[in-house]
Amino acid sequence: MENHVPTPELAFQALEALGVGALLLNHENIVVYANQALLEMSEHTSCIGLTRETLLLPPEDKTTGWHQLRTAQAQGIAVEITERQLPSGHQIITVSNAVARYRRERLTRVLEQIAHALNSLEPDSTSLYRAIHRALQSVMDARNFYIALCEPAPDTFSFPYMSDVYQEFRLENLYLPDSLTAYLAQSARAQLISGLEFENFIKSNKMKLYGTLHTSLIGTPLRVGEETVGVMTLQSYDQQSYSIYDLQLLEAAAASISIFIQAKRVEQLSMAARFDALTGLHNRRSFEQHLAMCFSNKQHPDFAVAFIDLDGFKSVNDNFGHQQGDSLLKIVAEHLEEFARQGDIVARLGGDEFAILLHNVQSTADAQKIGQRLIEQFQKPLQIKQTEVTIGLSVGIAKFAADPSIDALLHRADDAMYQAKRAGGFRCVISTQSEAPSTVIGL
C-alpha cells in the first residue's frame, strides 16, 4: 500500500493558503497531507496515513461531514465537505470552518457561565467550582471531575470539589506521592493522558495508581503567577475519549479558577492587614489608622479611646485550656460589637486587650455613661459551650483634649486602664487632662 506520494512543496503551500481545512488523499484514499487549518478542526495532531473512512462519515450519508462532527451536527451546525479529483488520481477534500465555529461557541458558552458565577454576589469557592463543573457538563461528558489544591507539605493535596462515579466526598491533606495529581501539579502545561499511557507510567514506576484506572483523562495545573496552587481534571472510565479541544476548554476554566484564587489571596492579605484573625475585629494597625483620621479632622474633635482588659481571663485559660480561652475572646468580641454605637470602631489589640474608638463623646459625663454601660454589659456570666464563666472588665477611657499626638492619647487611655486594674478591676477610669482626680466607676 502506498502511504506517501511525493508531492511538490508548492502544492503543500497552496493547501495552507486555502483558508479552510484541506486534506490531500492518494488514489487509495490514504491521507498524504493535511493543512494546519484542518488539524485545528480535527481531533488529530496528524492525519497522514489515515484512511478516508477513518475521518469521514460514509459517502452515502447525505449529512456527510467530518467524522468528529457528530456532536456538532446534533447541535444543528452545518458541516460542508467539498471534493475535487486531480488528474494524478489524488483527491483534495476541503472542510468548512464550521468546526472551528462550533468550538468557539462551546468555549464562549463555558466562559459565559463561569463569568456569571464570578459576577454573582460574593461567590465562595464551592459555588464557583460547582458552576465550572456545570459549565463543562453543558458541552462535554464531565461526570468525573475534581479539583485538588496543593497543601504546604510536598505531594499533599486537599480535594475541595469532587464528582466521580466511584467516589464523591471531600478529602483533605492526602499524601499522594508519584500520583497522577502530583504529576499534573509538577507539570508546566495541561495534559491529555490515555489509560494506556498511564499504564505505561505505572509499569515504568513513574506513577502509582490511586483509585480506579481511567480510559481517558485531561488535566491542567492551576497556577497563580509562577506558583502551582492545584490541579483540575476530567476523566473517563468508559469509551469516552477526550480531545485536545476538550483540554483547551479545561484550560480556560482553570484560568478562571486561578483568577479567583488570586483575588481571594489579595482579599485575605487585605483582611489580614486590617482585621484580627481570631475575632474578626479591627487589629491595632487598623484601629490606629482610624484614630489618625479622627486627629486629622479638626472640625469633629468629640471622640475618645477606651482601652479594655479582661479580668479573670487567665483563670479561664488555666482551668479550661487555650481553646476555651479563644472561644471566650470571640464571645467578648461579639458583645463589644453589640455594645458599640454606629460609627464606633472595635479592635482587638492583642491577647485579652481590646479597644473602642468612641465617637460623639462631648464631655466627661458622656464618657462616664459609656463606661458604666460597658461594665454592665459583662455582669452576667458568659456561656462557653457547656460552661458558664464570669469575667469583668478593666476599662480606661481617654477623651481627646488637644492631645499633641496619637501616642499621647493612647498613653492616657492605657494608664487609665491600668489604674482600674490596680484598683481591683471590674471598673472604669476616665482620664482627663485637668488636674482634677480621674473619675472611677466601680460595681
CATH classification at residue 155: 3.30.450.40
Flag whether pLDDT at 407 surpasses 80: yes
Flag whether pLDDT at 66 surpasses 50: no
Q: Answer whether residue 1 is part of any domain.
A: no
The answer to whether residues 89 and 183 belong to one domain is: no
Query: What pLDDT was estimated at residue 400?
Result: 87
Q: Answer whether residue 135 is part of any domain.
A: yes
pLDDT, the chain, mean: 81
The answer to whether residues 187 and 242 belong to one domain is: yes
The answer to whether residues 301 and 357 belong to one domain is: yes
Flag whether pLDDT at 85 surpasses 70: yes
The whole model's pTM is what? 0.52
Most confident of 73-77, 135-139, 302-306, 385-389: 302-306
Residue 14 burial class via C-beta count within 10 angstroms: exposed 0-12, middle 13-18, buried 19 and up: middle
Joined together, the cell numbers standing for residue 104 give 468557539
Q: With bands split at pLDDT 50, 70 and 90, how would you rate the model's confidence at 147?
A: very high
Query: What pLDDT was estimated at residue 277?
Result: 86
**DSSP string of 258-288?**
HHHHHHHHHHHHHHHHHB-TTT-SB-HHHHH
User: Which of 220, 245, 272 finishes a domain?
Assistant: 272
User: Which of 272, 299, 324 finishes a domain?
Assistant: 272
Which of 106, 117, 109 is CA-nearest to residue 256?
A: 117
Q: Answer whether residue 279 is part of any domain.
A: no
CB atoms within 10 A of CB 401: 14
Structural domain that includes position 351 = 284-442
Query: What pLDDT was estimated at residue 99?
Result: 61
The answer to whether residues 353 and 211 belong to one domain is: no
Say if CB 137 and CB 234 are below 8 A apart: no
> What is the rounded CA–CA span in Å between residue 308 and residue 47?
77
User: Which of 34, 64, 96 finishes a domain?
Assistant: 96
The answer to whether residues 119 and 189 belong to one domain is: yes
CATH of the domain at 386: 3.30.70.270
> What is the rounded CA–CA span in Å between residue 147 and residue 221?
10
The answer to whether residues 290 and 154 belong to one domain is: no
Q: Answer whether residue 396 is part of any domain.
A: yes
Q: Answer whether residue 4 is part of any domain.
A: no
